[in-house]
């Protein structure tokens, strides 16, 4: 085979999660062409998804050495640094996500190109346009930085999806939230995820790790009365088991509802509530058969979801926007993490400075959700 054929074969192995054969094929490519930055980068990713960080770093740096213009290598390296909590360097390299090769045509609400702010500009009296740029979970996670932006003295115009307006406007009443169709002018524009770079965030200085969003107290009381959620004789557990259907970003994060229920129903003296927004017809049938209250069927926006979360005693959830919302509300939660987690969660910790109310329960091997759920059951039983 020539190098191109080997690259295709390696990609096939990688997609099948056959990382041993994928690595071997990429190494064969590099024997034929030692200057192939793509092969170095993809080889690094084979190591990275197996949590072999030193090997992955060597490959990403080798890719950059043979071709400093190959942005994907630096972008991947940024995630590796962030996973290691090396935020000072990691958030610098993470800015490569603005490169067209990385972002493609997904512009979000940010006027491109974004202003390359450095964090030392005098923004007093200026209008700063801040925008949602990636997933719902990222926006919930980083909306905590709005008070820091307010302290710069700038007038803030913030674009977030409409389903988030009510929740965020209640928590940040001094901020103007806009729609993509708004007719605006501004002096600077920046994606929301630039905040950690601009404010020099380290893992130790992550702001508002305890709580930064809230709901209206009367709305919460009305919701609890409507759904008979004021009783305190049993532990109320709200759960979420899958991300958006068909989205590659949540690959391997989701859990089958039947498996989730198999374990959670072992916990004595609890009442389970499904808070899942997107569900299949089969899931709805199973929930009804098991007598599980399906509050998720009544969700219209993130404010509804927030009321549901606040009505629970404990949240059990996979890594999705729902989990970030639970953290932002300060709710005690068990975060169920896949073997190779998102960079926010590190590799070994049980706690997180991003959300100090979380207990992180990790897969000990890929795809092993049974072990994770058994651990959750034991923690709640004895906790």
pTM: 0.95
> End-to-end alpha-carbon separation of the chain, Å?
57
- Report whether pLDDT(161) > 60: yes
pLDDT of 179: 83
Question: What are the strands of the beta sheet with 188-191, ordered from one edge?
Answer: 176-178, 155-159, 127-131, 188-191
Same domain, residue pair 221 and 285: yes
pLDDT of 194: 96
Residue 111 lies in a domain: no
pLDDT tens readout for residues 23-60: 999 999 999 999 999 999 999 999 999 999 999 999 99
- Report whether pLDDT(1) > 60: yes
Q: Do β-strands 314-318 and 293-294 pair in parallel, antiparallel, or remain unpaired?
A: unpaired
Residue 246 lies in a domain: yes
Residue 144 lies in a domain: yes
The neighbour count for residue 336, using CB atoms within 10 Å, is 27
Q: Which of 172, 205, 238 is the last residue of a domain?
A: 205
Q: Which of 205, 231, 257 is the last residue of a domain?
A: 205
pLDDT tens readout for residues 275-294: 999 999 999 999 999 999 99
Read off the pLDDT of each residue in 128-143 and give the average, rounded to a whole number.
94
Same domain, residue pair 233 and 178: no
Read off the pLDDT of each residue in 264-284 and give the average, rounded to a whole number.
95
Confidence of residue 235 (pLDDT cuts 50, 70, 90): very high
Residue 108 lies in a domain: no
Same domain, residue pair 201 and 247: no
Closest CA relative to residue 247, chosen from 195, 321, 304:
321
pLDDT of 109: 65
- Report whether pLDDT(250) > 90: no
- Encoded tokens for 11: 């990609």
Residue 23 lies in a domain: yes
Q: How much of the chain, in percent, has pLDDT values that exceed 70?
A: 97
Same domain, residue pair 227 and 186: no
Q: Which of 51-60, 238-247, 309-318 has the lowest mean pLDDT?
A: 238-247
Read off the pLDDT of each residue in 366-380 and give the average, rounded to a whole number.
97
The neighbour count for residue 133, using CB atoms within 10 Å, is 23
Same domain, residue pair 184 and 237: no
Same domain, residue pair 223 and 359: yes
* Region at 352 (left for phi over 0; alpha for psi -120 to 50; beta for the rest): beta
Residue by residue, DSSP assigns 196-233 as HHHTT--GGG-S-SS------HHHHHHHHHHTT----S
- Report whether pLDDT(265) > 90: yes
Same domain, residue pair 132 and 95: no
Same domain, residue pair 250 and 299: yes
Q: How much of the chain, in percent, has pLDDT values that exceed 90?
A: 87
Across the chain, which distance is largest between two alpha carbons, in Å?
69
CATH number, position 168: 3.40.50
CATH number, position 346: 3.40.50.2000
pLDDT of 107: 61
All residues at 6 or more sequence positions from 313 whose CB lies less than 8 Å from its CB, including other chains: 235, 236, 237, 332
Read off the pLDDT of each residue in 8-23 and give the average, rounded to a whole number.
94
Q: Which domain holds residue 166?
A: 127-205
Determine the distance from the C-alpha atom of residue 329 to the mean position of all C-alpha atoms in its chain, rounded to a whole number. Answer: 16
pLDDT tens readout for residues 86-121: 999 999 999 999 888 887 766 666 777 788 899 999
Question: What are the strands of the beta sheet with 270-274, ordered from one edge?
Answer: 293-294, 270-274, 235-240, 314-318, 333-337, 358-362
Read off the pLDDT of each residue in 186-195 and give the average, rounded to a whole number.
95
Output the CA angle 163-167-168, nearest 5 degrees.
100
* CA–CA distance, 91 with 115 (Å, rounded to integer): 16
* CA–CA distance, 297 with 281 (Å, rounded to integer): 11
Phi, psi of 87 (to 5 degrees): -70, -35
Coil, helix or strand at residue 346: coil
* CA–CA distance, 163 with 137 (Å, rounded to integer): 13
Residues 148/199, Cβ–Cβ less than 8 Å: yes
Closest CA relative to residue 353, chosen from 327, 325, 372:
327
| b/e per residue 258-285 (b: at least 16 CB within 10 A) | eebbebbeebeebbbbbbbbebeeebbe
Same domain, residue pair 91 and 23: yes
**Per-residue CA distances from 89 to 67, 72, 205 (Å):** 20, 16, 15
* CA–CA distance, 346 with 96 (Å, rounded to integer): 21
Read off the pLDDT of each residue in 310-339 and give the average, rounded to a whole number.
97
Read off the pLDDT of each residue in 118-147 and give the average, rounded to a whole number.
95
Same domain, residue pair 262 and 375: yes
**Per-residue CA distances from 90 to 62, 131, 287, 359 (Å):** 17, 21, 43, 25
Closest CA relative to residue 13, chosen from 46, 36, 39:
46
Confidence of residue 84 (pLDDT cuts 50, 70, 90): very high
pLDDT of 99: 87
pLDDT of 46: 97
- Report whether pLDDT(336) > 90: yes
- Encoded tokens for 44: 């690094």
CATH number, position 15: 1.25.40.10
- Encoded tokens for 57: 């770093």
Read off the pLDDT of each residue in 136-163 and give the average, rounded to a whole number.
96
pLDDT of 219: 98
Residue 19 lies in a domain: yes
Same domain, residue pair 291 and 253: yes
- Return mean pLDDT, the chain: 94
* CA–CA distance, 327 with 335 (Å, rounded to integer): 10
Q: Which of 45-54, 249-258, 306-315, 357-366 has the lowest mean pLDDT?
A: 249-258
The number of distinct structural domains making up the chain is: 3
Same domain, residue pair 244 and 375: yes
Residue 65 lies in a domain: yes
Read off the pLDDT of each residue in 216-233 and give the average, rounded to a whole number.
92
- Report whether pLDDT(228) > 70: yes
Residue 274 lies in a domain: yes
Q: Which of 205, 234, 268 is the last residue of a domain?
A: 205
pLDDT of 108: 63
């Amino acid at each position: 085979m020539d190098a191109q054929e080997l690259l295709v074969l390696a990609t096939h192995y990688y997609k099948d999660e056959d990382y041993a054969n994928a690595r071997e094929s990429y190494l064969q490519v590099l024997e034929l062409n030692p200057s192939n930055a793509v092969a170095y980068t993809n080889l690094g990713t084979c190591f990275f998804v197996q949590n072999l960080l030193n090997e992955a770093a060597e490959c990403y740096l080798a890719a950059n050495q043979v071709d400093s213009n190959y942005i994907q290598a630096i972008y991947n390296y940024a995630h590796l640094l962030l996973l290691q909590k090396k935020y000072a360097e990691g958030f610098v390299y993470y800015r490569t996500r603005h490169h067209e090769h990385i972002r493609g045509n997904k512009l979000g609400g940010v006027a491109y190109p974004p202003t390359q702010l450095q964090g030392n500009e005098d923004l007093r009296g200026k209008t700063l346009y801040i925008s949602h740029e990636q997933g719902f979970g990222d926006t919930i996670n980083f909306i905590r930085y709005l008070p820091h932006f307010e302290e710069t003295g700038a007038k803030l115009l913030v674009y977030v999806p409409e389903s988030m307006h009510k929740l965020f406007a209640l928590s940040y009443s001094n901020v103007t939230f806009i729609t993509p169709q708004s007719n605006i002018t501004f002096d600077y524009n920046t994606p929301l995820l630039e905040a950690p770079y601009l404010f020099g965030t380290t893992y130790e200085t992550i702001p508002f790790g305890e709580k930064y969003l809230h709901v209206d107290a009367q709305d919460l009381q009305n919701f609890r009365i409507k759904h008979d959620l004021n009783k305190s004789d049993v532990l109320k557990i709200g759960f979420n088991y899958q991300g958006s259907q068909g989205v590659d970003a949540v690959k391997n994060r989701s859990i089958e509802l039947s498996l989730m229920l198999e374990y959670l129903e072992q916990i004595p003296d609890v009442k389970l509530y499904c808070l899942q927004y997107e569900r299949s017809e089969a899931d709805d049938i199973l929930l009804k058969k098991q007598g599980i209250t399906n509050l998720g069927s009544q969700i219209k926006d993130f404010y509804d979801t927030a009321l549901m979360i606040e009505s629970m005693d404990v949240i059990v959830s996979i890594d999705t926007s729902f989990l970030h919302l639970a953290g932002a509300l300060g709710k005690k939660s068990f975060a169920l993490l896949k073997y190779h987690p998102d960079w926010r969660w590190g590799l070994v910790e049980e706690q997180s400075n991003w959300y100090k109310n979380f207990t992180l329960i990790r897969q000990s091997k890929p795809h092993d959700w049974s072990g994770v759920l058994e651990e959750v059951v034991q923690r709640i039983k004895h906790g």
